Structure 1
């Protein structure tokens, strides 16, 4: 890799002169300026942007801590955040914790040694004391979705209870379902519990006396497949499934198909997340869109606001999900 010293040596000037010329900040003869620029171009010299940023006391690097890359929702969220960050001239340092506290701790330490200027946190295992740790060292933070939001820093939450209510009410009113199963995420996961609460509320309000039926998965396609396969094997009677995410819903469709149940004529299914693949499944999956692009843009805009003015106060945001009706929930 060509360094500024290499350019200076080839041009017969000091590194300080090269730096001033390339940054349009110094005096030199027109001949020297032309020679230095020509040599830098011929040698394909690229300035060290990190070093330049550090000399100014800041960088354009933002850390993004996510819980998993296996759940299709999170790679799509990463892309949305990265696109928003790039539009503002920032880059993303991706940290995949696999929902393990040991990895979360590693990345929290790594954020500091990587000269990160801000951090977007999406993890069950990041607590207020962790945010205190980052903020006290000059790293501005914002939590998003799964993380707790009852802290003094900026946060973006999604109204998952409302999303669940939209899905379940659709199954009852438009789908005519009278025995709806909820395929829930893990019992210790906040967003899963919010969706469960929405499901239970609608059954109580508009369920025509339905008895709640809840089975659990871990947000993977396999767990959705196994949970619904077990439900069918047990002889349970149901005509609708509200899944806590799209991946499990796709697994549920597979389990129903293998058992000879047709979706949507026998079983109507609504997922949650509106991942890209939901438009290409057979049948196309009805789902709840939790507005990942809006959340990603909000996270970047809020973080940049905090980074550029240290006196700015944190803000709290809530994103409202929307129902997307496709083939899996309507005849």
Structure 2
């Protein structure tokens, strides 16, 4: 029978998150425990009391009044269903638009968004518009990928920002690979492909609500890590087809497990509509993405979000020691996520 050390060494050899290289092995990891997928058993009375407390708290701020919350999040649920992308939405493009090319492009767009000081919402909208365009377009040229990304960002900026970057700014960040006319023409094409319908739901919107209803127990680090996970999920093709509410819930659940080793509270299950069992696959995929960015063979390549979340504004969460301490657990979950992703293709 293999010893625990031999089993861990075998696991290190087996895991290969990146396409072109092995994942960095975990050295001297001990007492690796897997995440348990068990729901909380708290009583209905406690949940009812907590719901009343939240409703009372919400009423103090008209933005969170019961009627507004129900209408807003009901509409967001409708949008995430109506604007879904397929798990294989890039397949028909062949080598002209691959998951790896998309990952590189999104990483670059995170850098551009930081340079322009765009809102997080603008970045999420950018990726949503780009993915919908790629799904609906029959054929693109490989050289157009960056142009599509910039046109999507310009469209998202006009929709979300008070002051959006100028056209010349976009030409500059593309190193003049495209003209102003190229970008304007592509913007119109993207707008047409999405049927001039720019309303989409994204994970940050759901994350804010989920963390608010559990604000008495959610640690600031858990919230910061959840935001980080939602952003790096943008790069991962395997997560692009998941509903934003599911990604948000999975990000919060994984963060709770990593930071405080806490539970998925009844109030979180009630508000998100997802049980711990529902979150298993998306959480494993998020662990795969996090492991790749933090510890993978090419972790120095996809650094935009990691650098962004190393700032004090984001509690330096991407450099927090907790991620190193939980590296072995992340690797176990990442392997499960990789296996699940391969089974969907």
User: TM-score per shorter chain, which class?
Assistant: under 0.3
The higher-RCO structure (CA 8 Å, 6+ apart) is 2
Structure having the larger proportion of residues in helix: 2
Q: Which TM-score applies when normalising by structure 2?
A: 0.24
Structure having the larger proportion of residues in strand: 1
